[in-house]
A and B are shown apart, each in its own frame.
Chain A
Amino acid sequence: AQSVTQPDIHITVSEGASLELRCNYSYGATPYLFWYVQSPGQGLQLLLKYFSGDTLVQGIKGFEAEFKRSQSSFNLRKPSVHWSDAAEYFCAVVNTGNQFYFGTGTSLTVIT
Chain B
Amino acid sequence: DGGITQSPKYLFRKEGQNVTLSCEQNLNHDAMYWYRQDPGQGLRLIYYSQIVNDFQKGDIAEGYSVSREKKESFPLTVTSAQKNPTAFYLCASRPQVGNQPQHFGDGTRLSIL
Which residues of A are in contact with B by a Cβ distance under 8 Å?
9, 32, 34, 36, 41-46, 49, 51, 90, 94, 98-100, 102-105
**Shortest Cβ distance from B98 into A: residue:** A51
Inter-chain contact A43/B96, CB cutoff 8 Å? no
The CA-CA distance from A32 to B96 in the complex, in Å, is: 14
Which residues of B are in contact with A by a Cβ distance under 8 Å?
4, 6, 31, 33, 40-43, 45, 48, 50, 88, 90, 92, 94, 96, 99, 101-107, 109
Inter-chain contact B43/A43, CB cutoff 8 Å? no
Which residues on B sit within 8 Å (CB–CB) of A51? 99
Given contacts A32-B99, A34-B101, A99-B48, contact A9 B106 (CB under 8 A): no
Q: What are 10 pairs between A and B in contact, CB < 8 Å?
A: A43-B107, A44-B102, A45-B104, A46-B101, A49-B101, A98-B94, A102-B42, A104-B40, A104-B42, A105-B42
Instruction: Give the most central of B101, B104, B107, B109: most A CB within 10 Å.
Output: B101
Which residues on A sit within 8 Å (CB–CB) of B42? 90, 102-105
B31, B41, B106: the one within 8 Å of A98 (CB): B31
**Shortest Cβ distance from A49 into B: residue:** B101
Instruction: Give the most central of B4, B40, B99: most A CB within 10 Å.
Output: B99
Q: Give chain B nearest CB distance to A18 CB in angstroms.
A: 25
**Shortest Cβ distance from A102 into B: residue:** B43
Which residues on B sit within 8 Å (CB–CB) of A94? 99
Inter-chain contact A41/B101, CB cutoff 8 Å? no
Q: Give chain B nearest CB distance to A105 CB in angstroms.
A: 5
The CA-CA distance from A9 to B31 in the complex, in Å, is: 30
Inter-chain contact A43/B41, CB cutoff 8 Å? no
Q: Give chain A nearest CB distance to B4 CB in angstroms.
A: 8
Inter-chain contact B99/A44, CB cutoff 8 Å? no
Inter-chain contact B96/A41, CB cutoff 8 Å? no
**Shortest Cβ distance from A103 into B: residue:** B42
